[in-house]
Structure 1
């Protein structure tokens, strides 16, 4: 049997790229459950933070993989299996998934009765959707291997504290969990729609206007600060100052939208000044708007400013500010979307020694000795290329084009950067000079531009 499945989003929104996978049309009920083993009531798991996204180890049928912890998805999805990955999938059947835009459906596999494991937390009888073709190419866009995303399937059976500062996840057994006693914390009720969590907050669109109450998806799988759906309320309008930017990649191609700032966001007693916000029109978000009360999303660039307790069993979320709450909100001011381009063989100087001085031997006269020894090694290093470029951006005006291979950035070899570091470089401060050397065919070309703040 062939089943058609709609995925309205999985965009990896910037810092670099936002992909949001939401499965809307199939609601399969199963007896799947995560349980704590060996009498444990708490598990601590280290994670990596890439572009504000939480990447942690998850075992699928005994194979350790890297997953994004994404409160914005209600099904577990695997979309990056290499030929070298050996993973047995149980009870499979073909499905098709459809993404944002008008592209063709993408073939996938629905596999049932799988075992997941996070340390001593075991999930049995788990469903997983496997994208046959790695359409997202998320790993190349993040510069690190990402196999999939998981959200509700895990979070419905545990309570998790996310400490973004220490990069640790604390999973608690609900029956043994004690809610933190914290006067400085903010506790908010969660409302669920299709197994995704929403909270009520307020936002100020215009400095001269009033606060607008909005219902927002808590989306740890979105790396941007805020999404707003243009026109979801009559007061939600794009500010006068905005620019068209690359917001992410969907199954059907690149997603563009209007990037701007709003004066403030209020989450309970916490006031967040001048966050960046991306406005998406009704055509782009037609599937995401199936929940008529929804006005947008709160993503990782907001959440990382707190310790976050996510309590699905009791329908609560608790926030406690950390030291980054008052930091500014930045975005890619270059106009370049850089992705991982595989590895290249690089010649490196292995050992170089130069010595100047006088040496005396018993049977020789004093003399000036110069010794110079050099050897080289060849190593595979990461390569990066320009995947997309924003129209009228500083980089485009300088002459850089899609497909250019990045060789140097500000005098440093490109392979000495991680993709995360390159993203941070483009978000440092307005007017910062960027010197870049690219390879285009047989030519090496030098360009220079300055980061430009448009909002």
Structure 2
């Protein structure tokens, strides 16, 4: 099976807790904090980091121990220090994988620096999240930064402030609520409660997981039972393979004084966690689709977080109603007629082509990403209509998709229940048009 688009990435769960580091990150003297802008892609925080002078993009993960690098095929200039071979166990249905360990590396995030950072390099070419996110992703980083700073994540403005711990962090307004967390094995756990379909609230301990793009994960046991309305789904990809489970909806999730109604939830197959010897009293995870509804100040040194809701709080949860998953798969040329030509080709801000050729002053060829169907859920509207894995998406509802980001295309495919969706694809050098109606997943 090809890796599917919009998988609910589970980055903080990729490695076992023993993969940790002891290097320190520092700010220049007399600088209280460093502000960094980030991209929020599929509920994941993507930050720019220099590694030994090479500019890379990392997902910021609140629980991962040591930075992990992957997708380095095009990074010929990256130099790694003191390299040795290791074996890594991770989530998924596959086996352990080979990796490299490197010590003494220089990391730089704005003015934040570490001069002796340990990291791991996954050599498996299949561990690559860039095609599904639509931008280059080279690795994940987390605990070291959360350990050394008070981290103020403003999801509303797509910015992070890293405060020196002695500064006391940002001044919190009245709308913030401060909650205790437990930092265990370099991961933060928060007490919350969930309301399942028609049942009383159940107290749960949840991993705070900015490295997951999903909303809520729950582990089924005597107290926490799967609601009757659910469907089988692909939940994501770990280092050891694909992760599957059951997708459902819960009546509510309460975090402190905040209640998130009709929250999207998943019950993962527990075989996924076979490499983790002891889950303790953990009952699940809170991922990016929940966390982005708050602005959050992480204070690992004092084992607390402060939260306030933002403009995302009441936004609806996104489900893959169509059943289609997408990813980038190389590039293709598209031709466009130019209405008027004055000798200068203007590149549209919405265009993702990085190579353009002008033919006879009236036709422009652009090299753009090729978007393919990387997976289809069995029994979904798209599956019933006849779409197949490997189909090249050309247009959705009459809109040529090369002008849109991959997340925007997914929104077109899953706009609302009851809507008819028309998808134009290329299959075996033939253009085919498919039509289907989006249906309620829980009826």
TM-score, with length taken from structure 1: 0.88
In structure 1, the residue matched to 2:55 is 64
- The verdict on how the C-alpha distance between 1:15 and 1:443 changes in structure 2, with shifts beyond 3 A counting, is closer
State the aligned residue count: 421
The equivalent position to 1:215 in structure 2, one of 186, 201, 205, is 205
The structure with the largest strand share of the pair is: 1
Q: Distance in 2 between matches of 1:42 and 1:318?
A: 17
Task: Quote the residue 1:379 is aligned against.
Answer: 366
- 1:345 aligns with 333
Tell me the residue number matched to 2:344: none
Match of residue 322 from structure 2? 334
Tell me whether 1:311 sits opposite 2:299 in the alignment.
yes
The residue correspondences of 1:362-373 to structure 2 (distance < 5 A) are: none
Structure-1 residue corresponding to 2:285: 297
- TM-score, normalising length: structure 2: 0.91
Per the TM alignment, residue 288 of structure 1 is displaced from its structure 2 partner at its CA by 4.8
Q: Deviations over 1:163-214 (max 9, x none)?
A: 111111111111113453332212111102210000000111132x211110
2:58–2:140 Cα contact (<8 Å) kept: yes
**Which residue of the partner structure matches residue 433 of structure 2?**
446
Pick aligned residue for 2:16 from 24, 48, 56: 24
**Distance across 2 between alignment mates of 1:244 and 1:341:** 26
CA distance in 2, matches of 1:63, 1:278: 38
1:250-286 Cα offsets, whole Å, 9 max, x none, are 2343322100001001000001101000101321223
User: Aligned partners of 1:114, 1:222: CA distance in 2, in Å?
Assistant: 26
The residue that corresponds to 2:223 in the other structure is: 235
Which residues of structure 1 form unaligned runs of 5+?
1-11, 354-372
| 1:34 Cα offset (Å) | 0.3
Q: Is the Cα–Cα contact under 8 Å of residues 393 and 426 in structure 2 kept in the other structure?
A: yes
Q: Does the C-alpha gap of structure 1 residues 101 and 301 become closer, same or farther in structure 2, counting only changes over 3 Å?
A: closer
Give the deviation of 1:302 after TM superposition.
Answer: 0.9
Pair 1:59–1:124, CA change in 2 (3 A): same
Counterpart pick for 1:43 among 14, 17, 34: 34
**Alpha-carbon separation, structure 2, partners of 1:381 and 1:40:** 43
- Residue of structure 1 in register with 2:356 after alignment: none
Q: In the TM superposition, what are the counterparts of 1:235-274 in structure 2 within 5 Å?
A: 235-274=223-262
* Residue of structure 2 in register with 1:133 after alignment: 124
Residue aligned with 1:284, SS: helix
Offset, 1:434: 1.2
Greater C-alpha Rg: 1
Instruction: Give distance in 2, aligned partners of 1:16 and 1:281.
Output: 15
- Say if 1:188 and 1:158 are closer, same or farther in 2 by CA, change over 3 A: same
CA–CA separation in structure 2 for the residues paired with 1:60 and 1:272? 39
Q: How does 1:350-429 map to 2 (within 5 A)?
A: 350-352=338-340, 375-429=362-416
Contact 2:9 2:213 in 1 (8 A): yes
What SS does the corresponding residue of 1:262 show, helix, strand or coil?
strand
Answer whether contact 2:235 2:268 (CA < 8 A) is retained: no
Q: Which residue of 2 aligns with 1:98?
A: 89
Q: Distance in 2 between matches of 1:340 and 1:42?
A: 37
Find the residue that maps to 2:124 and give its secondary structure: coil
Moved over 6 A (4+): none
CA contact (8 A) 1:22 1:74 kept: no
RMSD: 1.9
Distance in 1, matches of 2:273 and 2:212, equals: 15
* Distance in 1 of aligned mates of 2:126 and 2:174: 46
Secondary structure in structure 2 of the residue aligned to 1:401:
coil
